[in-house]
């Protein structure tokens, strides 16, 4: 039996919920091109994202710990894959388009510079007066301009809905996206946004405990974690590796289950019957239950105070600031030290943006090596 694109599209339309984004209803691509005979447009987008240079670089970009801190800790790549897993689980239960969800999740962090959110803040500060820097906006630039893989256009020529999913992702800084991406996005995009927050909090807790920077007994300060440990029969004073894995797994499962239930309730209450109605609804429909949202916010506050501000973590942040600031100042003062292909972009985008794009594309270790070459 041969299953071609038309059959995939037909089966998808019959299977998905009314409010899901169907691939047959895509707004299409900026540049017309033939679709794959055996893949839907969103499956094609997913495959294109996987083969980008930007995606491969995520393996050597910081989540919380830099890549060289140890083989166990999350990198930006493993975080991305975990977001994909959470988002697909939620999307499947809600009857959403899993292929679109996966494509958005795979690309949601492509625009992150080296050294995680510290790198993003440093570049945004350095680019004040030159358009700023925000990782979602930069991800769009990667996918529409900076990745050059096809002779007829720059970027990957992805479908509107995947790019929209990045544009509507929660931003740390005002990104200034184009007006055509205004709105709350598809429910698939909203689920990815929520899944990012869930995966970030649960897995940063895991890394913090594994590193020893967070002590198990400290978890008793967070009432929901204390209660979850009690329910699972875990003693926070005798907390071993298996205990940690059980706690994090159950916490993640709790968030996913609550997200499915709350989002379904929001969708039913809103009465939306199409992806367009989801976009135009007054509020986001992907949500957690009040109890789960309270747990997430308490966990985030705990991580911010006890983990992200730990002296060991802050020391790496200061190193990142020093490296990126030094590289930016050196390259903007002496642009002749930039690679020729970067110098060639200066007349089109300006010196500061060309340098910023170059720095944002670096991995942690490449940035450190570049710094050592300039400042031996």
How does the average pLDDT of the chain come out, rounded?
A: 93
How many whole angstroms separate alpha carbon 328 and alpha carbon 78? 28
Which class for 328: exposed (0-12), middle (13-18), buried (19 or more C-beta within 10 A)?
buried
In this predicted structure, what is the pLDDT of residue 139? 95
In this predicted structure, what is the pLDDT of residue 175? 55
Label residue 172 by pLDDT band (50, 70, 90): low
295 SS3 class: helix
In this predicted structure, what is the pLDDT of residue 376? 79
In this predicted structure, what is the pLDDT of residue 364? 94
Domain ranges of the chain: 40-313, 314-374
How many whole angstroms separate alpha carbon 169 and alpha carbon 160? 14
CATH 3.30.465.10 corresponds to the domain 40-313? no
For residue 1, pLDDT beyond 90: no
Average pLDDT over residues 118-138: 94
In this predicted structure, what is the pLDDT of residue 243? 92
Strand partners, 230: none
| Tens of pLDDT, residues 199-221 | 999 999 999 999 999 999 999 99
328 SS3 class: helix
Give the pair of three-digit tokens for residue 36. Answer: 């794959």
User: How many alpha carbons fall within 13 Å on the CB side of residue 37?
Assistant: 1
| Tens of pLDDT, residues 214-255 | 999 999 999 999 999 999 999 988 899 999 999 999 999 999
| Tens of pLDDT, residues 78-118 | 999 999 999 999 999 999 999 999 999 999 999 999 998 89
C-beta neighbour count of 55 within 10 angstroms: 20
In this predicted structure, what is the pLDDT of residue 182? 67
Helices (H) and strands (E) in the chain, counts: 18, 0
In this predicted structure, what is the pLDDT of residue 177? 53
Tell me if 23 sits within 8 A of 35, measured CB to CB.
no
Calculate ∠ Cα 257-263-264, nearest 5°: 90
For residue 178, pLDDT beyond 80: no
Strand partners, 75: 62
Cite the DSSP H helix spans in 212-240.
223-231
User: Comparing 11-25, 46-60, 283-297, 304-318, which segment has the lowest mean pLDDT?
Assistant: 304-318
Q: Give every CB contact of residue 37 below 8 A, 6+ residues apart in sequence.
A: 4, 5
How many whole angstroms separate alpha carbon 15 and alpha carbon 179? 32
Select from 55, 199, 211 the least CA-distant residue to 139.
Answer: 55
Share above pLDDT 90 across residues of the chain, in percent, rounded to a whole number: 84
In this predicted structure, what is the pLDDT of residue 173? 56
Strand partners, 159: 29
| Tens of pLDDT, residues 259-302 | 999 999 999 999 999 999 999 999 999 999 999 999 999 999 99
User: How many alpha carbons fall within 13 Å on the CB side of residue 108?
Assistant: 31
């Amino acid at each position: 039996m041969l299953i071609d694109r038309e059959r995939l599209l037909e089966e998808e339309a019959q299977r998905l919920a009314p409010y899901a984004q169907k691939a047959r209803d895509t707004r299409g691509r900026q540049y017309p091109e033939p679709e794959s005979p055996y893949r839907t447009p969103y499956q094609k987008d997913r495959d294109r994202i996987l083969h980008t240079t930007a995606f491969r670089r995520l393996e050597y970009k910081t989540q919380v710990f830099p890549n060289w801190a140890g083989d166990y800790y999350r990198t930006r790549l493993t975080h991305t894959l975990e977001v994909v897993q959470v988002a697909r689980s939620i999307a499947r239960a809600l009857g959403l388009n899993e292929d679109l969800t996966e494509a958005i999740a795979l690309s949601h962090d492509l625009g992150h510079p080296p050294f995680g959110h510290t790198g993003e803040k440093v570049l945004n500060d350095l680019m004040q007066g030159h358009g700023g820097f925000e990782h979602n906006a930069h991800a769009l630039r990667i996918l529409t301009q900076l990745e050059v893989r096809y002779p007829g256009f720059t970027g990957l020529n992805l479908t509107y809905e995947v790019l929209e999913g990045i544009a509507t992702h929660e931003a740390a800084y005002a990104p200034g996206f184009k007006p055509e991406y205004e709105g709350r996005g598809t429910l698939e995009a909203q689920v990815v946004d929520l899944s990012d927050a869930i995966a970030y909090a649960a897995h940063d807790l895991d890394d913090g405990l594994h590193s020893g920077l967070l002590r198990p007994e400290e978890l008793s300060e967070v009432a929901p974690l204390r209660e979850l440990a009690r329910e699972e029969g875990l003693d926070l004073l005798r907390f071993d590796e298996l205990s940690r894995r059980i706690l994090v797994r159950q916490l993640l499962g709790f968030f996913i289950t609550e997200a499915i239930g709350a989002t379904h309730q929001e969708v039913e209450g809103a009465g939306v019957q199409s992806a367009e109605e989801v976009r135009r609804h007054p509020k986001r429909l992907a949500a957690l239950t009040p109890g789960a949202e309270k747990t997430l916010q308490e966990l985030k506050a705990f991580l911010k105070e006890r983990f992200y501000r730990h002296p060991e973590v802050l020391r790496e942040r200061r190193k990142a600031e020093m490296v990126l600031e030094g590289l930016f100042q050196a390259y903007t003062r002496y642009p002749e030290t930039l690679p020729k292909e970067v110098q060639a972009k200066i007349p089109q985008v300006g010196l500061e943006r060309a340098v910023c794009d170059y720095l944002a594309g670096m991995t942690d270790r490449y940035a450190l090596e570049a710094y050592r070459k300039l400042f031996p």
